[in-house]
Amino acid sequence: MKVLVVNAGSSSIKYQLFEMPARRILAKGMIERIGQADAALVHTCSGSKHTARICAADHDAGMAVILSTLTDKKIGVLSEIGQIGAVGHRVVHGGEEFTGSVVIDAHVLDSIERFADLAPLHNPPNLTGIRAAMHSLPSAVQVACFDTAFHTTLPPAAYIYGLPFDIYEKFRVRRYGFHGTSHRYVARRCAKLMGLDKSAANIITCHLGNGCSITAVKAGKSVDTSMGMTPLEGVIMGTRCGDVDPAILFYLGDKGYDTKQLNAMCNKQSGLLGISGISNDMRNLLGRVAEGNTRAKLAVDIFCYRITKYIGAYTAVLGRVDAVVFTGGIGENNPALRAQICADQPQIGIQIDPARNDASSSDERLISAETSRVKVFVIPTDEEGAIAGDTYELAAGKSK
């Protein structure tokens, strides 16, 4: 079965086409700047990259471009679009309703739309992408895969905030967590690498990119995670502030900041960018650290310190930790940061092997020392592959 995985943003569509169940990537790409005059396509297959200026006034037009590209005689991989048996959609927020991936029907569409107030920047474009795919591929099985689903196993003690309980009852204000597809994939892959059943492994997973989250996985289930009701909570990120005293916002409100300014500040002007005053890109910051820039060093140090704190806290939550996993763009590609994060943790059984950690490789690998009680892995995440797997299983089950 051919499975198309779609991740629709407000002005973009990322896609990968898989041959299932082998999870072989046939093609992948992205359309950017949908609705603008300079909309563009980047398409890759068989190791060759094709770029083009396109006309894509909306997501329906963007999806049509993708399908036309996939069936193009020169750069495509399909003879006709009917070969696509299922489409898997990344959806950020599933609220408390969806504990796993589901075949999309009218009820699911209504729920995704209802949860838009919990993820106003993500669910609406996700929904737009779903409707565009349903329009372009009416015979394909459409599946929604939720970022929040893996975290629906959090116990109430982990997800209820210290606010009046009726705030939760009325508005469902609680910790939801995000990056769930990534955390689930690397936790299960880590258990397999250690020769453990997923239900027997206690793992701390660190998804570190422009957005960052840490998750405690106990017996294969998420029991705590650093992001909260929104992706703003937790460790500092590229432009997000992470954990702060909420009274700071009241204080700044008294100083004349309105809610729109505070929202922009916390989400787009803080984190690595706000502290350093230079960049939200860790690669740029590490270059400036090497040049002796003190603000860049402060941003990097805070980033590492907060992650170290979460690993320590989740060690206490889990009681026994079998492994720590680093994934995401920063987690996979920055040995110096991994070393700094783990440097002060021999007391909880974490010891990095410098040679393993510094080895240049894009493959999954063990980077802890032989004497380390807790194993430490680098495992490249594969959210698209996980979505393709869920989609194939649901589509195959529906066709039986």
Beta bridge pairs of residue 49: 44
Burial of residue 306, with CB atoms counted within 10 A of its CB: 0-12 exposed, 13-18 middle, 19 or more buried? buried
Secondary structure (3-state) at 320: coil
Asked whether 312 and 324 are in contact (CB, 8 A), the reply is no
Q: Both tokens of residue 13?
A: 């569509």
Burial of residue 398, with CB atoms counted within 10 A of its CB: 0-12 exposed, 13-18 middle, 19 or more buried? exposed
- Annotation marks residue 358 as catalytic: no
Q: What is the DSSP string of 7-31?
A: EE-SS-EEEEEEETTTTEEEEEEEE
Among candidate residues 117, 147, 281, 363, the one labeled active-site is: 147
Burial state string for 336-368 with b = 16 or more CB within 10 A and e = fewer than 16: ebbebbbeebeeebbbbbeebbeeeeeebebbb
Could you tell me which residues come within 8 angstroms of residue 135 by beta carbon, excluding any fewer than 6 positions away?
60, 63
Q: What is the DSSP string of 25-80?
A: EEEEEEEESTTSTT-EEEEEETTEEEEEE---SSHHHHHHHHHHHHT-TTT-S-S-
Asked whether 100 and 391 are in contact (CB, 8 A), the reply is no
**Cα–Cα distances in angstroms (integers) from residue 283 to residues 266, 269, 290, 292, 336, in the given order:** 22, 18, 11, 15, 11
> Position of tokens 């860049």?
296
d(CA 222, CA 203) in angstroms, rounded, equals 9
Radius of gyration of the chain (CA): 22
Task: Please identify every residue annotated as catalytic.
Answer: 147
